[in-house]
């Protein structure tokens, strides 16, 4: 028979949450845009901007990536965003979703990873 402690006695019975619900509660998302910049020095390249709170100016991550051309594949862009975020956070995101911007100068992205336990 389990011993009843004050902490356990005061707790109301809780509905069990599914593993997926627990997983989703621990996920963290970062969003922003990957911009093709032609104003930086003589060589064009990619800049990564992170969204902040609504109304805040996006934050530009340090670094200017010139190794990937403007017409890079979807997979190459996903990898580039992951690498640029990794330099900022110290780990690669689990998933990166990329959507082309209408004006054609870059991509919107959402990167998802789990918060450290």
Output 93 or 42, whichever has higher pLDDT: 93
Q: Report how many domains make up the chain.
A: 1
Q: How confident is the model at residue 41 (pLDDT cuts 50, 70, 90)?
A: low
In a domain, 110, yes or no: yes
The token duo for 5 is 């402690």
Q: Is the pLDDT of residue 10 over 90?
A: no
DSSP 95: E
Does the pTM of the predicted model rise above 0.95?
no
In a domain, 39, yes or no: no
Cβ atoms of residues 115 and 28 within 8 Å = yes
In a domain, 88, yes or no: yes
pLDDT value of residue 40: 67
Helix/strand number for the chain, H first, E second = 3, 5
pLDDT value of residue 20: 46
pLDDT value of residue 94: 95
Q: Is the pLDDT of residue 2 over 50?
A: no
In a domain, 90, yes or no: yes
Q: Domain containing 91: what range? A: 64-117
Residue range 25-31: average pLDDT?
Answer: 78
* pLDDT tens-digit readout, 48-73: 999 998 899 999 999 889 999 999 99
Give burial (CB, 10 Å; 0-12/13-18/19+) of 80. buried
In a domain, 102, yes or no: yes
pLDDT value of residue 26: 58
Residue range 85-107: average pLDDT?
Answer: 92
Percentage of the chain surpassing pLDDT 70?
A: 74
């Amino acid at each position: 028979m389990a011993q009843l402690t004050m902490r356990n006695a005061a707790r109301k019975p809780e509905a069990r949450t599914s593993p997926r619900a627990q997983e989703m509660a621990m996920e963290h998302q970062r969003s922003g845009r990957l911009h093709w910049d032609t104003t930086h020095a003589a060589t064009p390249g990619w800049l990564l901007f992170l969204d902040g709170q609504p109304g805040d100016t996006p934050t530009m991550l340090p670094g200017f990536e010139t190794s990937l051309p403007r017409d890079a594949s979807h997979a190459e862009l996903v990898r580039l965003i992951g690498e640029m975020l990794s330099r900022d956070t110290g780990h690669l995101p689990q998933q990166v979703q990329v959507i082309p911007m209408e004006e054609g100068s870059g991509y919107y992205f959402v990167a998802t990873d789990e918060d450290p336990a």
